[in-house]
Structure formats: C-alpha cells, structure tokens
C-alpha cells in the first residue's frame, strides 16, 4: 500500500513527457506507432513489411527497444531506414523519457512515420504511454489463441490488433474466432487484421488502414 503514491507519481511524470513527445511529433508532422507484443511475435518483420509497402511520400523511421543487442536495429538499418537502438538493460518496457532521448538521434525532418518497437512483453508496456498516436498490439498464431483472455490489459490498450503468422493457422490449430471474441470482449473498438509478414498476406490491407489513419490527422 505505501508504494501506491510512488507508482502514481512515476506514471504521472511519464505521462507528462509522453504529452511532450506527442506535441513534438505534431510539430514535426510525424505519425508515431507504439508496437507491443510478446518476444518473437514478429514486430521487426512487421516493421520491414510495412516499410516496404509505404508510398515514396511516407518516409519511415524506427526506434528499436530490446533488453540487449542491436540485432533487429541492424536488420532495419540494412534497409536504409533511420533507426535508433534503446537497450533497457533488463527493463521490461520503454517509457516516454527513453523515447524523448532517442529522438535526438533521429533525423526527424526526414521521417513521416515513426515505428517504435517496444520491448517484447505482454504486461508492462501497456502501462507506459510514449506519446504515440496509436498502440498496435501484434499477436502471433504460434503463441496460441488464448492471449486476449490471459493478458486483457494489453489488448484493452490497443487501438488495433494484428494477428501475425497466419500461414501457420492450420499447423497450430489456431481458432481465429475464439481469439477475436477475446479481443472484442476487452476492446470492442479495436479492429483485427489477420496477416502473414513472411508470406505478405494481409499486409497491404493493414498498410491501407494505417495510411487512412495518418491522412485523418493531416
């Protein structure tokens, strides 16, 4: 019980910096996504598949969050996409101050869409605002169809849910209807897109939806 005021203070301070981040994005004309998922769900694959389908007028940039290493950041940089690595050193999520610091190392005037890959975790990232315009939860078929029921807080925080690795639905006997009912139970407003970054299935529909949301903000 004595820890509650401390936790509230931390979240309040984080949220204030998140608002500052959002204001910066607005000034720079940047649309920002907070990508949240379990490890291995395919966040980096989604970033690369999305970037490959963007029109030339939409220039991507990436903030890559991991406990350690820059493996994913190197894969993104190899595609010519501006990227900054944040290693949390054991921390289970990114927070607004981390994002604010990372922005100093990005060419913001050359970025229209900023994709923030949060640390792989289905709990902590949902509690920390970053200043992004959209929270995107990436689930994968290989994780099982019960995730919305086991981690309702994460799916409740989503503006959109992407179910990746659709090419493995039959292999894992994944029940898409059961998964979708779980999402709707905690977040009826979040649309669900079923896709496969590996096969390219459904990615165009997601990118079209994303571009539509970006245009509404202009």
Output the DSSP codes for 127-138.
GS--S-SEEEEE
Provide the β-strand partners of residue 32: 114
CA atoms within 13 A on the CB side of 201: 12
Q: What is the CATH number of the domain that holds 80?
A: 3.40.50.300
191-201 pLDDT per residue, tens? 999 999 999 99
30-52 pLDDT per residue, tens? 999 999 999 999 999 999 999 99
Number of domains in the chain: 1
Compute the radius of gyration of the chain from its Cα atoms.
Answer: 17
* CA dist., res. 30 & res. 22, Å (int): 9
Q: What pLDDT is stored for residue 6 in this prediction?
A: 46
* CA dist., res. 70 & res. 86, Å (int): 8
The whole domain housing 105 covers 4-217
Residue 83 neighbours by CB under 8 Å, 6+ apart? 61, 62, 63, 64, 73, 76, 77
Q: What is the pTM of this model?
A: 0.93
């Amino acid at each position: 019980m004595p820890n509650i005021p401390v936790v509230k203070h931390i979240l309040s301070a984080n949220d204030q910096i998140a608002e500052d981040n959002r204001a910066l994005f607005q000034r720079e004309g940047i649309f920002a996504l907070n990508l949240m998922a379990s490890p291995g769900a395919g966040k980096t694959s989604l970033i690369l598949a999305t970037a490959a389908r963007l029109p030339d007028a939409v220039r991507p940039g990436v903030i890559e969050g991991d406990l350690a290493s820059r493996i994913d950041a190197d894969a993104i940089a190899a595609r010519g996409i501006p990227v900054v690595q944040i290693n949390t050193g054991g921390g289970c999520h990114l927070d607004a101050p981390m994002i604010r610091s990372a922005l100093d190392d990005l060419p913001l005037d050359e970025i229209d869409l900023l994709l923030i890959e949060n640390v792989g975790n289905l709990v902590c990232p949902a509690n920390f605002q970053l200043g992004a315009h959209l929270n995107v939860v990436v689930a994968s078929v290989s994780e099982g169809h019960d995730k919305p029921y086991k981690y309702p807080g994460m799916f409740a925080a989503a503006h959109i849910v992407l179910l990746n690795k659709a090419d493995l639905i039959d292999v894992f006997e994944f029940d898409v209807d059961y998964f979708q009912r779980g999402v709707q139970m905690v977040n009826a407003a979040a649309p669900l897109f079923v896709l496969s970054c590996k096969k390219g299935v459904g990615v165009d529909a997601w990118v079209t939806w994303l571009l539509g949301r970006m245009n509404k903000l202009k």
